[in-house]
Structure 1
């Protein structure tokens, strides 16, 4: 094949790619799309996932209707809901696994990001970026106790990675205690703390030094501390979700977190709270640590931290802990963490949470939601094992995965999205926007009750 012919082929390919890009950009620009455009988007989405993303998603996403046709390709969102390309509206009780605490596309968060975008999108990496400093000050003011210094990330797993590295530098210890059913992320460090074997096994061995003990078992936690100390493997830190999310909305026993704090104090170990899912008002307080009156040494944030508009995360630590990074601030960095757009979104998000009293609202609406769901499940004890939660972080546990999947799918067909998948549906999670209305809650409960009546136990 001649060089000229290769160049001609490449030129034609580039023309085709440019035409495709222009068509996509034109669709993004439109406020409304017609049926023909919706059909094209659906086909391109399904084909793209099958051929270029991962065909596995097509099997596990609730995007298949009862007759096997792909019907749900998301396109727009607002408030507590989103719409697919065909205009069908869904009440979002999955909330991107807890990212839409202030709702979908909250106007104040959007405005902060677009205003910042007009001036500067990303930072130079050399000059001092103002919004990072301002956001860090705000976090020092709103986080529990004497948490003071912040490091910014792009996601939850990055926040956990930063916390683990900070804990290691602080004491030079290498042993960590995590818990069963914990989920801290899927990068190698955070995966070492995660407890789910399905995610861990293909990547073993992971980071050495991690011990897992049953969540809520303070005696086992104490014995593990004792054993680690006796063999010279002193514990650097305990990492916990105050309320376990991926594990199935598991609430801690009374005084458990306080007792863990006491053990950490006794053995000179740090306490890391992974509040990636419980933070930013989800549980009825700005941070779940406040619910249990425990101050960690490091707190991890993400998910809702960016207001459902920008990917954003952070850790906030006590000065005594964080100062191990003072001599060389480049010991742990990230190119995009703390960028101006993410910081603008986070600042506006915190403002909305405070101004609209959304943590308090989460407590009130969550109590109502939980009560109504329990009432709706009466008479279906053969299907529903337990309904539990705190604030607008609710778990519905079924006796079998199959029941959970059928309920999740039935709700989806009725325009309500909850967290349940084909591979793990024994407990489905309900984590709507903290702005969800009582009318929407009633609609969810009504449909839940109707779906339960049609699902076989």
Structure 2
């Protein structure tokens, strides 16, 4: 694949100038950023106005699960725009109903009612609201090393430093430690120990908070931005049992892990667990038009049969977004994208990343499945000291910045967070493209190796 436009640096400079004059970027010090001007994208690649092409190992923000500009999804959006571009959410609209049906068919258990939002954070907000109204309780438990969104409740649920600036300490959220054997907070040495001790820690937290005060436990099925830590066998089933025992609503956040990312329609299916509420977004329509939602169990849906649900959004179930979802799900079925993600993870990405770990002392651990992987980069494999300190900025973050620059020099756009790089390409990435990405990582890791001791 080659860029579909001739290099035009002057046009790129104009795009960049307009951006810096008027666009206020998220999570950024506005005067310190230098965003790349993007000229186009297709499949697993994008390119700039200078003609530089990048293999996107970030899938945008882990959402272009079927890659950029898939013709069937683009065509579906165009057709829907010509037929019915928008309509209010209180009406029954064919494409909205069809999107809900297709999603409900793929969710585990009886999660058959779909509340549509514009994105993942709004989905989490509404899931928590539903849980609180259903139980009549106020507190919500969420894990450290998590991310649930940047709106009011979602940011308080979040367990990483992005929460700190907005944390009012009054949102009824209690954080706890979820299992993570490589950096175990429980001094565990085996997965079985980590699972048992994490479950005991969670139960102790509930006991000291008061079970009768806890409305919900919210977990990313597999934490995404926080490090792609797959839970040990039995953990999610154990959380399900605890929730059932205390009448707590179990919410799984599948905004990043859902829709084929892990090699299953939803990551919960790897663990044979059915939550009471499940949030989704991103991959539901490959991010082509903003869409998220909550899949709701029969019991919680029944709470609102005669009692109005006090929540809604102007763009809930927007026809263009739903048309993109319908087309995306059908593409994923027809092209066996979910099965492909499982195979590429098992036979290419997983083995390839583990082979890199054998040769690069900067790689402490490889974690993941499907098209959802993380390399935990370290200064010292024996001590497991991270390559950069937790939440490092400025000079302290320089080793990871150098690694990222090396990736880009080799034509790979990396996903970097703290001391980790994630390999999260499109779920339909080809074997040749995946190997191209692994080769670029191989070259860039030599830069990270220079900072090991």
**Which TM-score band applies after superposition, normalised by the shorter structure?**
0.7 to 0.9
2:104 maps to 1:168: no
2:16: which partner in 1? 42
Is contact 1:104-1:308 (8 Å) kept?
Answer: no
Question: 1:442/1:53 Cα in 2 relative to 1: closer, same or farther (>3 Å)?
Answer: closer
User: What TM-score comes out, normalization by structure 2 length?
Assistant: 0.86
Count of residue pairs the alignment pairs up: 410
Contact 2:88/2:314 (CA < 8 Å) preserved in 1? no
**What TM-score do the two structures reach when normalised by structure 1?**
0.85
Rounded to whole Å, the distance in 2 between the matches of 1:208 and 1:453 is 44
Deviations 1:191-241 (A, max 9, x none): 121112x322322325532111111211111112223336x42x2111101
Q: 1:24-78 CA deviation, whole Å, 9 max, x = no partner? A: xxxxxx96674432332233334445xx6587256356x5xxxxxxxx3112110
Tell me: CA distance 1:332–1:380, structure 2 relative to 1, closer, same or farther (3 Å). same
Match for 1:432 among 417, 425, 430? 425
Contact 1:191 1:206 in 2 (8 A): no
- Is residue 246 of structure 1 aligned with residue 246 of structure 2? no
What is the alpha-carbon distance in structure 2 between the residues aligned to residue 125 and residue 294 of structure 1?
31
**2:150 maps to which residue?**
186
Whole-Å separation in 2 of the counterparts to 1:303 and 1:58: 29
CA distance in 2: counterparts of 1:348 and 1:207, whole angstroms: 42
After TM superposition, the structure 1 = structure 2 runs for residues 330-409 of structure 1, keeping only pairs within 5 Å, are: 331-367=310-346, 368-381=348-361, 383-399=362-378, 400-401=387-388, 402-409=398-405
1:445 aligns with 2:438: yes
**Deviation larger for 438-447 or 200-209:** 200-209
SS at match of 2:418: strand
Distance 1:427 1:279, change over 3 A: same
Which residue does the alignment assign to 1:89? Answer: 53
How far apart, in 2, do the equivalents of 1:125 and 1:183 lie?
Answer: 28
Asked if the contact 2:89–2:318 (Cα under 8 Å) also holds between the matched residues in 1, the reply is no
Partner-residue secondary structure (3-state), 2:358: coil
Q: How far apart, CA to CA, are the structure 2 residues paired with 1:113 and 1:172?
A: 41
Measured in 2, the distance between the counterparts of 1:415 and 1:354 equals 31
RMSD: 2.0
Q: Aligned partners of 2:10, 2:410: CA distance in 1, in Å?
A: 24
Query: Structure 1 32/136 Cα, relative in aligned 2: closer, same or farther at 3 Å?
Result: same
- Listed as ranges, the matches of 1:146-161 within 5 Å are 146-161=110-125
Q: Which structure has the bigger radius of gyration?
A: 1
Corresponding position: 1:199 with 2:180: no
Tell me if structure 1 keeps the 8 A contact 2:341–2:427.
yes
1:31 and 1:418, CA in 2 relative to 1: closer, same or farther beyond 3 A?
closer
Q: Is the 8 A contact 2:125 2:153 kept in 1?
A: yes
1:258 is matched with: 237
Partner of 2:210: 229
Find the residue that maps to 1:215 and give its secondary structure: coil
Q: Which residue of 2 aligns with 1:419?
A: 415
Q: Which residue of structure 1 lines up, in the alignment, with residue 195 of structure 2?
A: none
Gaps of 5+ in 2: 180-197, 379-386, 389-397
Cα displacement (A) at 1:392: 0.7
| Secondary structure, aligned partner of 1:263 | helix
1:136 aligns with 2:100: yes
Shift of 1:282: 0.2
Unaligned 5+ segments in structure 1 are: 1-29, 64-71
Aligned to 1:13: none
SS class of match (2:329)? helix
* SS at structure 1 position matched to 2:290: coil
When structure 1 is superposed on structure 2, of 72-81 and 333-342 the one drifting more is 72-81
Q: How does 1:103-122 map to 2 (within 5 A)?
A: 103-122=67-86
Contact preservation (8 Å) 1:325, 1:331:
no
Instruction: Report the CA distance between 1:334 and its aligned residue.
Output: 0.2
Counterparts of 1:317 and 1:377, CA distance in 2: 41
User: Could you report, residue by residue, the CA deviation over 1:390-414 in whole angstroms, capped at 9, with x for unpaired residues?
Assistant: 1111101112134333222210122
